[in-house]
A and B are shown apart, each in its own frame.
Chain A
Amino acid sequence: MVTPNSEIEVDREKGNFRFTESHKFDAGIGLSEKVIDYICDVKEEDQWIRDFRKRALKVFESKPMPTNWATKDLENIDFNKIRYYLSGGNRASKTWDDVPDDVKQTFERLGIPENERKFLAGVEAQFDSEAAYSNIKESVGKQGVIFVGSTEGLMKHPEIFKKWFGKVIPTGDNKFSALNSAVFSGGSFIYVPPGVKVSHPLQAYFRINAENFGQFERTLIIADEGSEVTYMEGCTAPKFDTATLHSAVVELVAMPGAKIEYVTVQNWSSNVFNLVTKRAIAHEGATVKWIDCNIGSRLTMKYPGVVLKGKKARGEVLSIALANDGQHQDTGAKMIHAADETTSNIISKSISVGKGRSTYRGQVHMPKNLKGCKNNTECDALLISENSRTDTYPAITVRGNKNAVQHEASVSKVSAEQIFYMQQRGLSEGEAMSLSVNGFVNDLTRQFPMEYSVELKRLIELEMEGSVG
């Protein structure tokens, strides 16, 4: 444990503390071409990326908010009050000793260096706009695996980077992918050479420290033929009274026979708008699995997708969302079948606590010309109190008669009698609730990497204990 420092504001929640800011580079408040020039200058980027960003800004400005189908709460984001780039001006260190003290202490409190020693093949730790630490185990680097930040990726490996960057998720995919394309900074670039199986997970940790800030990391992962990689990301931010924006774009490319597993456990504070676009392309015989756990935030909108482009490709989304009082988890999955014998599986579990609201949106698309495609969708919702709310919007388009789709949905409630039963055995109300919630997600978390299911269980306990008066 780190000894508490007088500069740190501590709260019982693990992520709710912050250091006073000291940023060498600050693009100021609001969004304009000037801000983009500032970012490009600081990063010393090539002209093509400057042009790419400026085009994206125009797309962002031209696109309306998706409030015709999504929540009106989006209108409360004031893009003119957000700071789009903040960094300490240091290059990402390869050893923790070289990381500035306050940043190092932040990540130590979040347990990152300890996890790195225990079970990770590589770690990237991003603090506001830039990575403070980035390192890959020597043995993994020797196999030809590239694991760097997005800026370094586009500068040092343009031949791979440019080929896929913005191809899985085009700038104009949605308003927020356009915003990210205009101001992105940080995130990971990963390339795994053909046949290489990375035995331990690579991890990125995204930390927002500053107020009124937007974090726009950009991640691109390419698993070449027959390779395998697991990537894990964690996110936290301290709680501010003002809104914070997190809007990432994550693109995955699984070449023929490759396997990518992408695990997210986010624990944003309740002032964060979390609007993220995540999509993968799976080529022939490739498998992409998204494991997505959404806890915290004010509003999360995220629908990880897989474009099943090659024969026998497989896509999976396993997601858990917990919406506490005042939070809205609008999550789901997209499966676009574009080749024969492709299979997809979506399992979504959501929990609504107090006045929390969870929404499931799913899209499964199977065109007429395909055969032998299968999809299984299960979405289960658990309501904790009378005021909780859950909605399900499945959109399944299946044409032709040579494909199979299966859809199941359920809504259950933790009843007062159930809580009383558990309390009669000596568990407090909070413990009883967290036990029922963990029971509800249990069959899903069993499929997660062990370290993450333990972390998730602990986060659920914290959320549930905090939710009873």
Chain B
Amino acid sequence: MSNKLEIKNLNVSIGDKQILKDFSLTVPKGEVHAIMGPNGTGKSTLAKAIAGHPDYEVTSGEVIVDGESIMDMEADERSRAGLFLAFQYPMEIPGVTIANFIRAALNARLPEDEELNAPDYYKSLYAKMDMLKIDRKFTARSVNDGFSGGEKKRCEILQMAMLEPKYAVLDETDSGLDIDALKIVAEGVNSMRGPNLGALVITHYQRLLDYIIPDVVHVMYDGRIVKSGPKELALELESRGYEWVKELAGEVAAS
């Protein structure tokens, strides 16, 4: 079995507008890859398309998780196959507590006649909340309802920690975070790093990558990757600016 998340020649449209153009990328398990690029270049579309959002039409191409294509799967099946998306804008679910929501998500992964052991569940939930410096009282609060930006992002990472995905896509997880919250979120993600997780960190700024140090950095522009390289590429991009990306894109298109 191949241990990687493969995105192969993915073409994605919203309505008649093509956003992703023959996009290809491979994230081996155990590695953290970063995707950087200017706004409107298709980063969030990539995240939603991988997760199976019904509004994003995949016209051709494939996403393969550990050798198995997930293209025919609904969003929930993809999740249960081990794919997690930390949302840029997490949704509010009034009346549904964090504890109940995560428990329902975990129960959805169990065979029909099995239920989660409640004491074990709370023990694990509390441990992970402590790590992310989330007040334990939050278990009784409705998911993201009235949360600050930083609280929402920490709640995303808490869900990720509880669901233990094989591959996680983190979409602009740093947006809306102050430096302290950013450090906490990064620590949370770093604690999950290891041979059992492959992560794709999508970000507009290099700042997050000071704390979650990627193995590979990809630069994205106009629906495709225009340059890949080691972590230093993020710094180069920061100093040369996104104008440089346009030049790179010109070269890719010409080649």
**Interface residue ranges, A against B (CB under 8 Å):** 412, 415-418, 420-429, 431-432, 435-436, 438-443
Per-residue CB proximity of B38-72 to A under 8 Å, as 1/0?
Answer: 00000000000001111100000000000000000
Minimum distance in angstroms from B210 CB to a CB of chain A:
28
Q: Are the CB atoms of B93 and A436 closer together than 8 Å?
A: yes
Q: Are the CB atoms of B96 and A442 closer together than 8 Å?
A: yes
Q: Are the CB atoms of B101 and A426 closer together than 8 Å?
A: no
Per-residue CB proximity of B82-103 to A under 8 Å, as 1/0?
Answer: 0011010011111110001110
Closest to B108 in A: A426
Q: How far is the CA of A429 from the CA of B78 in the complex (A)?
A: 13
Q: How far is the CA of A331 from the CA of B138 in the complex (A)?
A: 35
Q: How far is the CA of A99 from the CA of B9 in the complex (A)?
A: 69
Q: How far is the CA of A420 from the CA of B74 in the complex (A)?
A: 10
Minimum distance in angstroms from B158 CB to a CB of chain A:
12
Q: Are the CB atoms of B109 and A426 closer together than 8 Å?
A: yes
**Is B75 an interface residue when CB atoms closer than 8 A count as contact?**
yes
Q: When the two chains form the complex, which single residue of A423, A424, A427, A440 contacts B95, counting CB atoms closer than 8 Å?
A: A440
**Is B79 an interface residue when CB atoms closer than 8 A count as contact?**
yes
**Is B231 an interface residue when CB atoms closer than 8 A count as contact?**
no
Q: When the two chains form the complex, which single residue of B54, B92, B142, B163 contacts A426, counting CB atoms closer than 8 Å?
A: B163
Q: When the two chains form the complex, which single residue of A416, A429, A438, A440 contacts B76, counting CB atoms closer than 8 Å?
A: A429
**Is B173 an interface residue when CB atoms closer than 8 A count as contact?**
no
Q: Are the CB atoms of B93 and A418 closer together than 8 Å?
A: yes
Q: How far is the CA of A244 from the CA of B159 in the complex (A)?
A: 48
Q: How far is the CA of A417 from the CA of B76 in the complex (A)?
A: 13
Instruction: Report if A439-B96 is in contact (Cβ < 8 Å); known contacts: A425-B105, A426-B108.
Output: yes
Minimum distance in angstroms from B250 CB to a CB of chain A:
36
Chain A interface main SS type: helix
Q: Are the CB atoms of B95 and A421 closer together than 8 Å?
A: no
Minimum distance in angstroms from B72 CB to a CB of chain A:
15
Minimum distance in angstroms from A448 CB to a CB of chain B:
15
- A431 / chain B contacts, CB cutoff of 8 Å: 104, 108
Q: Are the CB atoms of B94 and A425 closer together than 8 Å?
A: no
Instruction: Report if A424-B54 is in contact (Cβ < 8 Å); known contacts: A436-B96, A438-B95, A439-B95.
Output: no
Q: Besides the contacts A436-B96, A439-B94, A443-B95, what 15 more A-B pairs have beta carbons closer than 8 Å?
A: A412-B94, A415-B91, A416-B54, A418-B92, A418-B93, A423-B52, A426-B79, A427-B76, A427-B104, A427-B105, A429-B74, A435-B93, A439-B95, A439-B142, A441-B95
Kindly identify, within residues 129 to 160 of chain B, every residue whose CB is under 8 Å from any CB belonging to chain A. Answer: 142, 159
Closest to A439 in B: B95
Minimum distance in angstroms from B238 CB to a CB of chain A:
31
Instruction: Report if A421-B91 is in contact (Cβ < 8 Å); known contacts: A426-B80, A427-B76.
Output: yes
Shortest 9 CB-CB distances between A and B: which pairs?
Answer: A439-B95, A439-B96, A421-B91, A442-B95, A423-B75, A426-B79, A425-B105, A423-B76, A426-B108
Minimum distance in angstroms from B196 CB to a CB of chain A:
18
- A420 / chain B contacts, CB cutoff of 8 Å: 51, 53-54, 75
- A439 / chain B contacts, CB cutoff of 8 Å: 93-96, 142
